[in-house]
Structure formats: C-alpha cells, structure tokens
Structure 1
Amino acid sequence: MSDLGNTFMRRFVQFINTADEKLGEELIAPNAEFYVPFQSEPLVGPRGWLKAVEVMRGGFPDVQWTLEELVVEGEKIAARYTMRGTHEGTFFGVPATGKKIAIQTMNFYAMANGKIVGERGQPDLLGLMQQIGAVPAPS
C-alpha cells in the first residue's frame, strides 16, 4: 500500500490546499472523526475537515501544506507536513502581523475501504504562535 498510500496522501494534500469539497468526499468517510487541538470534540467528515481548514485560512489565507514524510503500515498512515502561510487575519485572537510562518505538523490517519475514517493532528501551535509574535521565543 506504500505507492497507494503515497498517491492517496498527495491527493489529500491537494484537498487541504484547495478545499475542494468533491475531492474531500472522495477521500474522507462521511463519519470520519478528526481531533484538532482547538476543540475538545472531534470534527466529523469532509465538512469537519473543511472547518479546520477554514480556521487556518482565517488567519493565513495563503496557507499551503507540503507532505514531507510518510509512513504507511496496513490501514494506518503517519504523515509529517510543513505548513506555510502569511499571517493576514486574526488567528486565535492575534491580529494580523504580516509575518510568514513555516511550522511542522504530524498527523496520524486511520483508513478503511480506501477512505480516511479518523485523524489525530499535532501541529506545532507553540512554534506558530512564536512566529507571529504572540508568545515569546525562548532566549
């Protein structure tokens, strides 16, 4: 499944970067659960993932994800991304600064029947907040 996983995840990155609803429906099960740091309850299905993308695009309208590393084992996928964008909108209460960000994120996916059925994402939100000046960087 490594070639299949690679092809699938490249299409998934295309979905994240374009917010293409039709592509989301092809790749994500309707009842898939996505756990994100800003919400205690999971987001659900393609619409849930689009909600997470909207949160990021609210602060970083040009945000783009690049797949850096991928590990596929059976129905589990681990992916490391670099997320880049420009802070041009309010993000978690921090007004736009115009600063560019580049952070790492690790996401773990559960697959079934060729679709994502679950995801847990671990973006480097501390690094992001430091890059936009909301949190002091260590000295």
Structure 2
Amino acid sequence: MEPWEMREWFQEFLDTLNRHDGAGLRGLLAPDVRRAHLPAGAEAWLSDYSDLLHGFPDWQWRRIQVLVEEDRLAVHLRGGGAHTGVFHGIPPTRRRVSIASFAMYRVANGRIVEASETDDADAIRAALI
C-alpha cells in the first residue's frame, strides 16, 4: 500500500472501532495477529475489545498522529468513555476515563498482522481506582 492508502486504511480501522463493529474489526485483523505481551489471535483481540466496551459502552478513539513507513503504522491516539458497566471486576463508577495510547501496527493484505500497544486494562483500571 502507498502511504496515503495506509492512512485511509487506518481511518477505516479507527471508524470501525468507534462504531463498535466487531464483525468489521474481525475483517481488519489477521486471524493469527500477534500482539506484544497479550494473547495472539483475532478472537483474543475481539474479546479484549468486548470487555472494554462492556465497561465503557460509549468508548471512542481520537487520532492524534499517524506515521506510515512501508507496511507499518505508528499511531498516537486518545481513548475515553464513561465507566457505566463492570470492567475487570470493577463495578460502574460513572467516572470518565481518558487514556493516551501509542501503538505500532504491521499491516499485510489489509489486515493487522502484528501489534504493540500501550493502552491496556491496567492503565484503565488505574484511572478508576
């Protein structure tokens, strides 16, 4: 993909996340996607995202910056939502949470095949306690 195509692809990925479209997200992930320090596979990624949305049904991502180099994306995002559902055993607090996320993705054939991200459940839990 050309850099402009990669940027358009990433916008589609971000829009899919913000629509909370699990089926659409599945189509943007390689079935065996590798994630640094997290269980591999699209199903594990979708399960983690489902857990996030259960605790934060209005969660949204906002792009701060995207850098493209060949088949890789470096992204800085801001994510946030209101804690109105149970999240990792923590009952709803109604607090708004906002976190910074930095990620590196490698994309092949229009799907993420490798990911390394800083947005994790521990950062979100820390914001609730």
* TM-score (structure 2 length as normaliser): 0.84
- Where does residue 65 of structure 1 map in the other structure? 61
- Where does residue 20 of structure 2 map in the other structure? 19
The answer to whether the aligner puts 1:80 opposite 2:76 as a matched pair is yes
Identical positions, percent: 26
Identify if the C-alpha distance between structure 1 residues 30 and 124 changes in structure 2 by more than 3 Å, giving closer, same or farther: closer
Q: Which has the larger radius of gyration?
A: 1
The within-5 A match list for 1:100-115 is 100-115=96-111
* TM-score (structure 1 length as normaliser): 0.79
| Deviation per residue, 1:57-89 (Å, 9 max, x gap) | 121111111121111111111111111100112
In structure 1, the gaps of 5 or more residues are 135-139
| Deviation per residue, 1:8-50 (Å, 9 max, x gap) | 1111112212232442244222222234xxxx552312x3332
DSSP-derived class of the 2:6 partner? helix
Root-mean-square deviation over aligned CA pairs: 2.1
> Is 117-126 or 84-93 further displaced after alignment?
117-126
| Count of residue pairs the alignment pairs up | 128
